[in-house]
Amino acid sequence: MDLAFSEEHEMIRKMVRDFAERELAPSVKEHDRNQTFDRTVLPKMAQLGLLGICIPVKYGGAGMDYISLGIVSDELERVDTAYRVIMSVHVGLNSLGLLQWATEEQKQRFLVPQAMGDKLATYALTEPNAGSDPLALQSTARRDGDRYILNGEKMWISLADVADHFIVFAWTDQEKKRARQASGMSAFILERGMPGLTTGTIHGKLGVRAGNTGSISMNEVPVPVANRLGEEGEGFKIAMSCLDNGRYTVGAGAAGLIQACLDASVRYARERHTFGVPIGEHQLVQQMIARMAQRLEIVRLLYAKVGWLKNQGIRNTRETSLLKWYACDAAFDSAADAVQIHGAYGYSDEYDVERYLRNAKGAVIYEGSREIHQIMQAQYALGLRQDRPLRCELPAYDADAWQAE
């Protein structure tokens, strides 16, 4: 196992860092304060190939590997979590789900325009009363000839009010719904403009205010059978496999937030003086900075490992869960330390560290809360949990095939 980032990976890192500092950083504070999502960044990200970074060229993507997706997430979150969320939802949760589960016809219809950045995509599992417990969701889909009729509500969906395509999960078997049997759930690809499909934006969030988070309402939405993703009854398996990809981007992105906290804290510790010396000479400040550096190295090693496993086509649900759990806790702890180092200034938006702290809290909750991942890791260790083969596995990375026209 080679966990070193290649020369090509470092070129991608530099490209994304330069882009983020030039195009995203100057306006992020304004969008955070105003709680506005800047759609003008999307064509710029598409032009760089970021919206299809790890999608094969024949499907409109850049043909890079899964580690590249982690690096892009890392560098975007270094500026703000909202930009990494675009990668998590559009690429991780949706486009990679299509790459894994969609028919060839569906890939041409949906994956190609998404990878090219012509269409924006999201993923809708969570409901008002169903978050960590997806079997509690209430959305339904009843078969009506060559279509399904969908009804239900989705909540806390990133990009809900700006996306063009939606992967949505609903019960197709009411008896299995009542029995909480996962095989009664199915997945569907919805398109904005379908009759009965409406979306809204949630305001007043603690963090990720520069991102769009919203709700989806389905009222007798007609969805062609051709838009069903996978077989009927595979929805739960599809949902969980998509989460493996989304969680990978969240964990990798956490490295960028830790890097931002470390950079800000080192800079401030050199400038700020107390008791006649820079505060960086005080041992307890050094301790907080040392912990950030430690966490950053661990998180980057963890996401390099998961990216390597994905490149090899090896199932990585356990490793991705561990990455997501550790990395998000590490980012939140680093942001709290960064605020502490900045003292009273860290408590105001004059410095970015207060935004880092607000943003970091969300990732401890979404895409599997801290507690869910603790339970998963305990179950793996105790032998109470094992991963079974899927009908469709995420394809291993093949440079020649993925970069072929």
Does 405 have pLDDT greater than 90?
no
Under 8 Å between Cβ of 228 and 283? no
> According to the model, what pLDDT value does residue 323 have?
98
List where CATH 2.40.110.10 sits in the chain: 123-235
> According to the model, what pLDDT value does residue 363 have?
98
List where CATH 1.20.140.10 sits in the chain: 237-402
Annotated active-site residue in 231, 367, 393, 405: 367
Report the alpha-carbon distance of residue 100 to residue 204 in Å, rounded: 35
Report the alpha-carbon distance of residue 335 to residue 346 in Å, rounded: 10
**Mean pLDDT throughout 285-306?**
98
List where CATH 1.10.540.10 sits in the chain: 7-120
Interval 373-389: pLDDT, tens: 999 999 999 999 999 99
Report the alpha-carbon distance of residue 265 to residue 353 in Å, rounded: 9
DSSP state string for 306-354? HHHHHHHT---HHHHHHHHHHHHHHHHHHHHHHHHHHGGGGGSTTSTHH
Confidence category of residue 2, pLDDT binned at 50, 70, 90: confident
Asked if 371 is an active-site residue, the reply is: no
Beta strand pairing call for 165-171 and 121-124: parallel
> According to the model, what pLDDT value does residue 217 have?
98
Q: Report the top-level CATH class of 123-235.
A: mainly beta
Confidence category of residue 78, pLDDT binned at 50, 70, 90: very high
- Is 364 strand, coil or helix? coil
Does 1 have pLDDT greater than 90?
no
The C-alpha torsion from 241 through 244 and 249 to 255, rounded to 10°, is 180
Q: Quick one: fold of 7-120?
A: Butyryl-Coa Dehydrogenase, subunit A; domain 1 (1.10.540)
Our measurement of the distance from residue 354's CA atom to the centroid of its chain's CA atoms, rounded to an integer in Å, reads: 22
Q: Say if domain 237-402 classifies as CATH 1.20.140.10.
A: yes
> According to the model, what pLDDT value does residue 350 have?
94
* CA-based nearest residue to 71, from 116, 121, 147, 11: 11
**Mean pLDDT throughout 379-405?**
97
Largest CA distance in the chain: 79
Structure token pair of residue 394: 């995420």
Average pLDDT, the chain: 98
Residues counted in the chain = 405
Report the alpha-carbon distance of residue 163 to residue 113 in Å, rounded: 13
Report the alpha-carbon distance of residue 235 to residue 288 in Å, rounded: 44
